Amino acid sequence: MSIGILGSGGLGSNLARALARNGIAATVANSRGAASLAALVAELGPSITAGTVVEAASADIVFVALRWTDTETVLSRLPAWNNRIVVDGTNPVEFLDPNSPAANDPANPLAAYGIKAVDLGGRASSSLIRALVPGARVVKAFNHLDVNALPQPQLSGGQRVLFYSGDDAAAKAEIRALIEAMRFFPVDLGALDTGGPLAELPFGPLAAINFVKV
Ligand SMILES: NC(=O)c1ccc[n+]([C@@H]2O[C@H](COP(=O)([O-])OP(=O)(O)OC[C@H]3O[C@@H](n4cnc5c(N)ncnc54)[C@H](OP(=O)(O)O)[C@@H]3O)[C@@H](O)[C@H]2O)c1
């Protein structure tokens, strides 16, 4: 079972870190090419390799660790999915230029965090991601906590909870096993359009809450 990670920023690098700590191999890619990942690969050791976007996107399990606003551009150019698994780690937020009017808009409740919610017209974000990866089995996971939590699955004498949701039972079982291999406690939130919005930032009721299984 191969793993690819699209994006090497906050989410992608910490996913790679969390996998590496458990000796799980993955290929990471970003927009600047493999050479830009030399420091990350050197830090994380031999289980993590740098690759092209197409190489990472050709894995059995492909993590989407891209900003929401980049998903359509990147995902629309990839090889056929052929029933492979896509783990959607995105949230529908836009990162703001601190000098832009939106960053200081009093009507934006997230301005202090440098982000604003993307208006999806009432649709679940994962249903939009699902439409961008036709033929893939989508599991939403790894998106509801600050990324700095990912290399630290143990907390207060227990295991940090990671939520996941999806429509394909076999794909969910694989991601559940991966979450367990990374030493988190997996909690199934049901179908993609039910569980996804529950744990999604910025406004999902379970988003950004640290649950610990003791
Ligand atoms: N930050 C958090 O705490 C957090 C928590 C949970 C979920 N999330 C979600 O995770 C996602 C990523 O957030 P982030 O904080 O990791 O963002 P980020 O630090 O800006 O990283 C985005 C990554 O996407 C890559 N990218 C952009 N365009 C690309 C392209 N055309 N081809 C390949 N790679 C491309 C960037 O490549 P370069 O490095 O080359 O620029 C970068 O590595 C977002 O949807 C966010 O909502 C974030």
Q: How do the pLDDT tens digits run along the chain, 214 residues long?
A: 999 999 999 999 999 999 999 999 999 999 999 999 999 999 999 999 999 999 999 999 999 999 999 999 999 999 999 999 999 999 999 999 999 888 899 999 999 999 999 999 988 899 999 999 999 999 999 999 999 999 999 998 999 999 999 999 999 999 999 999 999 999 999 999 999 999 999 999 999 999 999 9
Whether 72 is in the pocket of ligand 1, judged by its Cβ within 6 Å, is no
Read off the pTM: 0.97
- What gap in Å lies between CA 200 and CA 174, rounded to an integer? 21
- What gap in Å lies between CA 93 and CA 172, rounded to an integer? 25
With contact defined as beta carbons under 8 Å apart, do 198 and 112 qualify? no
The tokens 């197409």 sit on which residue? 54
Whether 92 is in the pocket of ligand 1, judged by its Cβ within 6 Å, is no
Which residue segments constitute the domains of the chain, with CATH numbers given? 3-91+122-213 (3.40.50.720)
Q: What is the phi/psi pair of residue 35, to 5°?
A: -60, -30
| Token code pair at residue 18 | 């969390």
Whether 90 is in the pocket of ligand 1, judged by its Cβ within 6 Å, is yes
**Nearest CA, atom 6, ligand 1:** 143
Confidence (pLDDT) at 101: 87
Confidence (pLDDT) at 68: 97
Contacts of 67 (CB under 8 A, 6+ apart): 7, 9, 90, 94, 95
Ligand 1, residue 73: give the atom nearest the CA.
31
Helical ranges in 45-191 per DSSP H: 53-57, 68-75, 125-132, 169-181
Distance from first CA to last CA of the chain, Å, rounded?
A: 30
With contact defined as beta carbons under 8 Å apart, do 189 and 165 qualify? yes
Q: How far apart, in Å, are the Cα atoms of 146 and each of 69, 118, 209, 211?
A: 19, 19, 9, 13
Q: How far apart, in Å, are the Cα atoms of 34 and each of 11, 21, 29?
A: 17, 21, 7
CB contact burial 142-168 (16+ within 10 A = b; e otherwise): bbbbebebbbebeeeeebbbbbbbbbb
**Nearest CA, atom 20, ligand 1:** 9
